[in-house]
Structure 1
C-alpha cells in the first residue's frame, strides 16, 4: 500500500495533482510523461496508479477540483438571503477571482479538454453545465422579478459572462495594473449594467 503522505505531511494525491498541474501548464498535457509527474511529486508510479488510474484521470481531476470549488461557492451565493442583483453580482465576481486563483487549472482545461476520452469529456461538460444552469437561474429569477431586462435571453447573458471568464488564461498577468478583485468587480459590473431594464 503506498504512503498517504510524504515527510512533510502533504497527502500524496495533492502532491501528484500539484506536480501534474505545474507540468501540464508549463509544457502541455501531451508532452508530459507519467515518469516526469512521479519524479516531480517524489512518489512512485505505483502511487500514481493507486490514487489515479491514469494520466488522463489527473487531467480530469485538475479541472474537476476547480469546478467543485466554484460550484460550492456559487451555491452559497445563490442560496443567500439577499436581493437577486447582489447574489448574481457576487457570483459573477467570484467566478472571475477563483478562475484567476486557479489560472493554471483553467489554462490546462482550455488547452487539453479535447484530449479526454469521450466519456470523461462528457462528465466534465455535465458538471460545467450544472454550474452554468445554476448561474442562469439567477439571471432568470431577476428577469422574472422585473429586476433584470428580458431583452437578452438568459442563455446569452451566461455565455457573455463566461466568454470573458474562459478567456482569462490568455491575457491575465499577475503583474498587471489591476488586482484579481478589481478585474472581477469590473466584469461583474459590466454584466449587471447589461441586465438593467
Structure 2
C-alpha cells in the first residue's frame, strides 16, 4: 500500500517515463522516436514500459493533458487567491514564464508536435487553451473596468501577444544563463504589463 501523501511507485514510475519521453521527443521528434528508445532512455525493459503506457500516442496525449491541466489549475488558483486583477495577471504571466523555463523539453513537444495529436484530443487541447486565454482576458477586462483605461488593441490581441512572449521562452531560455526562471518571469511580466500600467 502506498504511503498517504506520497506518490505510489507506479505513479512515480509513470512520471519518470513521461519526463524521459518528453526529453527524447524534444530532441529528435515524436515520429522519429520508438518505444524501444524511450524504454532505453528510462532504463526499463520494453514489456515493463508497456505496463505503464500502451503506446507512444498515449505518452504524447498524457504530456499534453498534464501541461493543460497544470496551467488551468494554476490560473484558477491565482484568480481565486489574488484579489487585484493586475497583480493576478502579473502572477499568471510570471508563472507561465517560470513553468515554461523549468519544463523546456515538454513545452518544445507541446508547441511543436500538435499535428501528431488525434483530432478529438486536439479539439480538447484547443478548448483548454481557450479557457486559459479567457482567464487572462477576464483579468484584463476587470483591470480596465476598474481603472477606466483602455488598450490600443483588442483584449484578445493583447492576451495572445502576452502568451506568445511568455511561451516562446522555451526556445531561448538558457538554464546556465544569468537569470533564474522566477526572476525572468517577473521581468517579462513587468514588460508585458506596461500597456496596462501606463
TM-score relative to the length of structure 2: 0.86
Please state how far the C-alpha of 1:95 moved relative to its aligned partner: 1.0
Q: Secondary structure at the match of 2:147?
A: coil
Structure 1 residue aligned with 2:79: 78
Please state how far the C-alpha of 1:46 moved relative to its aligned partner: 4.4
Give the conservation status (yes or no) of the 8 Å contact 1:139–1:148.
Answer: no
Q: Secondary structure at the match of 1:175?
A: coil
Give the conservation status (yes or no) of the 8 Å contact 1:149–1:196.
Answer: no
Q: Does the C-alpha gap of structure 1 residues 23 and 88 become closer, same or farther in structure 2, counting only changes over 3 Å?
A: same
Please state how far the C-alpha of 1:179 moved relative to its aligned partner: 2.1
Please state how far the C-alpha of 1:147 moved relative to its aligned partner: 5.7
Q: Does the C-alpha gap of structure 1 residues 95 and 81 become closer, same or farther in structure 2, counting only changes over 3 Å?
A: closer
Per chain length, whose mean CA-contact separation is higher, i.e. which structure has more relative contact order (CA < 8 Å, sep 6+)? 2
Q: Alignment RMSD, CA only?
A: 2.1
Give the conservation status (yes or no) of the 8 Å contact 2:23–2:106.
Answer: no
**How is 1:10-25 mapped onto 2 (pairs within 5 angstroms)?**
11-25=12-26
Match of 2:9 among 5, 11, 19: 5
Find runs of 4+ consecutive structure 1 residues off by over 6 angstroms: none
Give the conservation status (yes or no) of the 8 Å contact 1:147–1:196.
Answer: no
Q: Does the C-alpha gap of structure 1 residues 153 and 52 become closer, same or farther in structure 2, counting only changes over 3 Å?
A: same
TM-score relative to the length of structure 1: 0.86
Q: Please, which runs of 5 or more residues in structure 2 have no aligned partner?
A: 1-7
Q: Please, which runs of 5 or more residues in structure 1 have no aligned partner?
A: none
CA offsets 1:1-51 (integer angstroms, 9 cap, x no match): xxx737xxx733123212211211222211110111123333344444444
